[in-house]
A and B are shown apart, each in its own frame.
Chain A
């Protein structure tokens, strides 16, 4: 094996393409002088190099392995305009509170630019096959995490995006000025179609806007999909007639094959369902296919992020959920579970608010205190309605409204169905708590501090809310988050 040379980016082509092994830096993947173009895809990786691996070399290796490089020099590079196809690591920053003098091993943020021509238009599968394809198993790194991406407008414009979007969804539902309310049907498994539809009916009649299949409700022995769809639509229509409001149930069309999913989605549409849902585990290509189906058929597409924590939760390795959210907005979903901050599932409040920015902004500004590394213009790609679901209840209404504002679906599953006076009462409690809080906020009250008083006052006129507050008053999930921002907002002199 040739001894690797010591200086980066070998200029002499004869030396550069001599058979053997070079450092990635020497092959042209480390370019500290490079100015990214507006049309470049930019990726920010968190890298944890193995002992003794220089961070710039590690960054160059990530750039190489996620673009054109292999482990050895190949002369066939010379048949291409190879410099434009090489990704370029152009910046490496030490991660705060890591490395010498801290309890944490050294980590670095590596900024890498990719030429637009590396990617097929409108294909998340192609984008991800490059950016996270091989490189995450690369041996010289102990761990690697994709923290954020800047998708250039030129590339965004090749994607359909959300089939419906926040604005059109609200116009179709005729619901404005407040978060939407939902609930996931419980128990998740075992109910027959008729009993399942009963829970849907009670929750919608009590005041919710939406009910939801859970991620693992597909077509099992206890309830086949067709039976579920028929009973749920009976419940949806009955509740609509009793309230005079548009109601909906997310019918989960996740299935083994694309043909099965289309069959289920078509049936949901035929029955007049305004919305269907799919799970993240169906994969990027299936998601994009369903997004196109939903746009063609005027059906809202709900995305349950089943499985994401396997790669989003650990801070040192995987893909941040903010990146997954960006890809899903491009792929085209209308609803996306994006965390609650206060509920039972992982989520630091500032980090979760960053995900909401990615879903809802027309232009996301870099904000390191929320984990947002880059400016992201959205080029009028429709906005995604985030969904807060998992261990939340009416007593947290002021916190939820304060954290997330109006454009969110608040989903109280246990917090509706587990109500001591019944499911309708649980739904009514949530709706009264929500409307009271929105009204108070609009009247100029400080809901973050006065929220509990506002709820108590509302409960005086609403026995179900009083019961809900009493039942869940002590329920909080105060555990340390594993995924928190590296940068803390500090006050600056004005």
Chain B
């Protein structure tokens, strides 16, 4: 399967030049970029591991790309994403978030169902990757 979280997952994986262009756009809007990675891409896994805090004072895309590359090098089989954070009044949240690395094999998710009263089903989305311990998942 192909995990389709993030802004551009229905497009071919972005090249480094394309990633840098998106980062430049975010910086031009005054947003701070950050890099996060995980080996557990469950849709409700809100907190991926931060590759450092958001780079509030970094003005150029090349600097962000250095961090993207360092994270990818340290975790070559993890999902890695770039977030752009907007701290302006009324937003104070992420404005752009896209995947910049994914493992070669994406095992995907299973859906467990348990039957309850009145034909109700209880669902549990299960990430196959997490069947193995952290560090051995991809």
Contacts and interface: CB of A to CB of B under 8 A. Distances in A.
Contacts of B25: 442-444
Given A177-B95, A242-B1, A207 B43 contact: no
A233 B119 CA distance: 12
Contacts of B121: 230, 233-234
B21 to A, nearest CB: 5
B92 interface: yes
Interface residues of A, number: 39
A174 B8 contact: no
B63 interface: no
B43 A174 contact: yes
| Most interface-central of A242, A270, A431, A432 (chain B CB within 10 A) | A242
Contacts of B52: none
Contact of A176 (B9, B97, B108, B109): B97
B10 A230 contact: no
Contacts, number: 106
A233 B44 CA distance: 17
B74 interface: no
A174 B10 contact: no
B43 A435 contact: no
B11 A245 contact: no
Interface in B33-56: 41-44, 46
B16 to A, nearest CB: 14
A259 interface: no
A321 B40 CA distance: 45
Interface of A is mostly: helix
Interface in A403-452: 406, 428, 431-432, 435-436, 438-439, 442-444
Nearest to A236: B123
Given A171-B93, A174-B46, A442-B22, A244 B4 contact: yes
A259 B120 CA distance: 21
Nearest to B14: A439
Q: Is the interface on chain B under 10, 10 to 19, 20 to 34, or 35 or more residues?
A: 35 or more
Interface in B1-37: 1, 3-5, 7-12, 18, 21-22, 25
Contacts of B43: 174, 240, 244-246
B7 A438 contact: yes
A463 to B, nearest CB: 13
B120 A436 contact: no
A362 interface: yes
Contact of B110 (A170, A234, A241, A246): A241
Contacts of A233: 121, 123
B87 to A, nearest CB: 12
B125 interface: yes
B96 A439 contact: no
B44 to A, nearest CB: 7
A167 interface: yes
A4 interface: no
A461 interface: yes
A176 B120 contact: no
Interface string A369-409: 00000000000100100000000000000000000001000
B94 interface: yes
B7 A244 contact: no
A237 interface: yes
B3 A435 contact: no
Nearest to B124: A237
Nearest to B109: A241
Contact of B5 (A174, A207, A431): A174
A84 interface: no
Nearest to A361: B90
A177 B44 contact: no
B7 A177 contact: yes
Interface of B: 1, 3-5, 7-12, 18, 21-22, 25, 41-44, 46, 83-84, 89-98, 108-111, 119-121, 123, 125
Given A240-B109, A244-B3, 7 more contacts: A177-B98, A238-B111, A242-B109, A243-B3, A380-B90, A383-B90, A442-B96
